[in-house]
Amino acid sequence: MWKTQFGTLLGMLAAALLVAGVAQAADSRIYLPMMMRSATLPLPQRTAGPTASASATGTVHPTGTVDPTTTASPSATATQGTEVPKVPVVPPADAASARLKAPDGFAVRIYASGLQEPRLMTTGPDGALYVASRRGATILRLADADSDGLADANQVVARGMNGPHNLEWHDGSFYVAENDKVSKLTDLDGDGSFTGGGERVTVTTNIPSGGGHSSRTVHIGPDGKLYVAAGSSSNNNVETDKRRATILRFNLDGSIPADNPFAGDPTETRHPVWAEGLRNSVDFLFLPDGRLWADHNGSDGLGNDAPPEEIVIQVERGKHYGWPFCYTSSLGVTPAGSHEVRDARVAFAAPISSCDQVTPALFTDAAHQAPLGMTRYDKTQFPAAFRDSLLVAYHGSWNADQTPRDCRVQQIVVNDGQPVEARPFLTGFRDSPTQECGSAWGRPAGVAVGAQGEVFVSDDKNGNIYRIVYVGQ
């Protein structure tokens, strides 16, 4: 009897296997991906408008088009133990993907919206994106806990700040550059917030406040010192407050390091100065070898094409970089042995009596681009051609009236430790080439590399944060 039952069972099993094999053979293209996809996170559904529906090869949008990049690639391990390649999740199409253009193989989506003048950003030790909201007077945490390519919420972790422009993580705390000071925020109770159980300490008020350029930027150098960029008070007036148009340097407690180049200068406001002649270096960074690279917004009023925008300046101890007396006149890579040229509108004043005394930029781009945030791409999510490149947010200036400058994110290619070429990376913020960026749809301000190798771009015009990932050709 048992043999009869066993034979029946074997027959049923064989029939089932035969049916499955026929189904698989009929459409293995659909069957295999669906089997593999069962091991992945669900597709993101947070999108404005009609809900997108999943297909075997991507997401079908309400327009009827299929976007293959919206599907999370499986991360399960194959039967032989090999890891299936992972493609970043890309949410359904949105207003950013409809108009912003990145190089082939990249996808752009709105990661977060509704922010009040988001400026510079950083990735925290928890892997979340932290943003300085200047008009909102807040620091925001934009986490993506469910890995769907969208911020879970615009979480306020610090408020009541004076025009916060950027923040830097160091040794368990965030250092925040405000208009008139640098503050140190510490989460004492581990709740992820710097209010309530958090601590806020003023590190230094020894920085200039107000004026034509009121944003401040702070970074921690490889020497463990605090570096702060402070812009000029005007277009091209010689500053009486020597802390302006500089990069300043402090100890972490706000005191003046004894080895600052002007620590013993008779003029007290020169004591924190590390380097000067920088009209408005909105952002800067340190390379792995310790070099400091800064961008620089040049003077207005010299015409549509002058001065070239100084995109990469190698900032060194005690050096002067020309403003308001001189500027780098070449375009692109600065030839070896170059000297800056005179801005004849401004009479020389101490300590400068000749353009031979100042240091040219390493690399320039077209005038009036207004470079703001910059970052170095040091991850592997993007192709190798982007490794070590700078990504710089060009805010666009009002001063090129005949040919308005584009607001975009620009890739500065770096070879053998030197900037060599500029290429557009993210464009489409303007409605036309004749539109000024002040009235454009959007305007990039900050750039940051995320924990997974994605790139985030802040837009202080429309309050968006964009997420850019490489999905392949």
Whether 458 contacts 373, CB under 8 Å:
yes
Whether 124 contacts 131, CB under 8 Å:
no
- String of DSSP letters for 351-388: T-SSGGGS---SEEESTT--EEEEEE--SSSS-GGGTT
Q: Is the peptide bond before 324 cis (omega within 30 degrees of 0)?
A: yes
Whether 246 contacts 194, CB under 8 Å:
no
pLDDT for 190 equals 85
pLDDT for 410 equals 98
pLDDT in tens, 196-216: 778 999 999 999 998 889 999
Chain position carrying tokens 């049916």: 19
Task: For residue 249, give the nearest of 215, 186, 203, 282 by alpha carbon.
Answer: 203
Classify residue 144: in a domain, yes or no: yes
pLDDT for 399 equals 79
Classify residue 330: in a domain, yes or no: yes
Cα–Cα separations (whole angstroms), residue 228 to 166, 171, 248, 396: 11, 18, 5, 23
Q: How confident is the model at residue 191 (pLDDT cuts 50, 70, 90)?
A: confident
Q: CATH number, domain at 321?
A: 2.120.10.30
Classify residue 138: in a domain, yes or no: yes
Percent of the chain with pLDDT over 70: 82
Question: Does pLDDT of 22 surpass 60?
Answer: no
Using CA atoms, how far apart are residues 79 and 120, in angstroms rounded to an integer? 44
Using CA atoms, how far apart are residues 426 and 252, in angstroms rounded to an integer? 36
Q: Per the structure, how many domains does the chain have?
A: 1
Cβ neighbors of 106 (< 8 A, separation 6 or more) are 468, 469, 470, 471
Structure tokens at 303: 């015409």
Whether 172 contacts 186, CB under 8 Å:
yes
Whether 109 contacts 98, CB under 8 Å:
no
| Dihedral sign for Cα atoms in the order 390, 394, 400, 401 | positive
Classify residue 230: in a domain, yes or no: yes
Structure tokens at 120: 């510079």
Classify residue 90: in a domain, yes or no: no
Question: Does pLDDT of 230 surpass 90?
Answer: yes
pLDDT for 62 equals 27
pTM: 0.83
pLDDT for 473 equals 76
Give the type of residue at 60: V
Task: For residue 438, give the nearest of 391, 392, 399, 464 by alpha carbon.
Answer: 399
Classify residue 10: in a domain, yes or no: no
Whether 197 contacts 187, CB under 8 Å:
yes
Q: What is the mean pLDDT of the chain?
A: 85
Structure tokens at 40: 């992945």
pLDDT in tens, 258-288: 999 999 999 999 999 999 999 999 999 999 9
Percent of the chain with pLDDT over 90: 76
Question: Does pLDDT of 35 surpass 70?
Answer: no
Edge-first strand order for the sheet with 66-67 is 53-55, 58-60, 66-67
Classify residue 33: in a domain, yes or no: no
> Between 85 and 256, whose confidence is greater?
256
pLDDT for 403 equals 82
**Strand 138-142 to strand 155-158: parallel, antiparallel, or no bridges (unpaired)?**
antiparallel
Using CA atoms, how far apart are residues 336 and 313, in angstroms rounded to an integer? 14
- Domain range spanning residue 200? 108-368+391-403
Cβ neighbors of 307 (< 8 A, separation 6 or more) are 298, 299, 327, 328, 329, 343, 367
Classify residue 438: in a domain, yes or no: no
Whether 296 contacts 232, CB under 8 Å:
no
Helix axes 2-26, 28-37, angle to 10 degrees: 110
Phi, then psi, of 184 in degrees rounded to 5 = -120, 120
